[in-house]
Amino acid sequence: METIKLIINADDLGSGPGRDRGIFRCVEQGIVTSASLLANGPSFVEAAREARRQELPLGVHLNLSEGRALTGIIAGLTDASGNFPGKPGLRRILTRGGLDLAGVRRELAAQIDRVWQAGLVPDHFDTHQHFMLFPTVSGLLIELARQERIAAVRLPLPAEAPQDDPPPPLGDELALYRRLAPALVELVAGSGLFAPQGLWGMPCLDRMNCAALAELLDRIPAGIWELMIHPGFVDGDQTFSGLEREEEMRALIDVDIRRRIVERNVRLTTFGSCSCAS
């Protein structure tokens, strides 16, 4: 039987105590194998402490759109208080150019270094809202990975077929990713970094439940893949929170889902394990 290796990575660790508690629950009781930590997140310190206690494999969830920069004002990106511009604002900036790339590099290096300084060893990085897909910064990120001793990266290439994409606005997002991804695939392939073959779960954003997860697991072919998920308890009115996160959490700790993984002979793994073997 051909092997299916699957990294199940929870994004946005450090974004709030509810999200963090839900992610750690899915690691302890469910099928989550890895997480991505927001270095500028409001609950970074507590999340890093618990991740260290659990020896949780994790990466850095690099962020240029939400919250405040660790390094202060970045010309062409932040406001006068160092606040990031939000998702639509970042997309406009990355498309039109005029960005202080040296300042961006300092900020991203600071985010990675904060994770190292917390006593954690990041085994990969990925980018919040997939900004790595934009050519303005993709090469910079590859160089930064080498500099910061990170051996693996997420490849934000939707693994599902285009006909599975939902209607707008998410469908428009996925169409954008599919247009931008081929250039990044080529760049990563020539970089020496490890990356899974593609990213499952993107069309299920905010609607990942037991039924959707079971169907997805039945469709994954042989190879090394990543499944991106966003579990958690509700954190008030925070950007990263919502009832859909709790539904996703319930799916990830469901007994029938565990059984399905065993039946399909899916080997759960991490970025670090895969990059060491490649």
Domain positions in the chain are 4-277
Asked whether the predicted pLDDT for residue 95 surpasses 70, the reply is yes
Burial annotation 100-115 (CB, 10 A radius, 16+ → b, else e): eeebbbbbbbbbbebb
- The tens digit of pLDDT for each residue in 113-163 reads 999 999 999 999 999 999 999 999 999 999 999 999 999 999 999 999 999
In the chain the first and final C-alpha atoms are separated, in Å, by 21
Active site residue: 11, 123, 126, 235, which one? 11
Identify the pLDDT of residue 173.
94
Mean pLDDT of 214-227: 96
Identify the pLDDT of residue 203.
93
pTM above 0.85, yes or no: yes
- The tens digit of pLDDT for each residue in 142-151 reads 999 999 999 9
Is 11 a catalytic site residue?
Answer: yes
| CATH code of the region 4-277 | 3.20.20.370
Asked whether the predicted pLDDT for residue 264 surpasses 90, the reply is yes
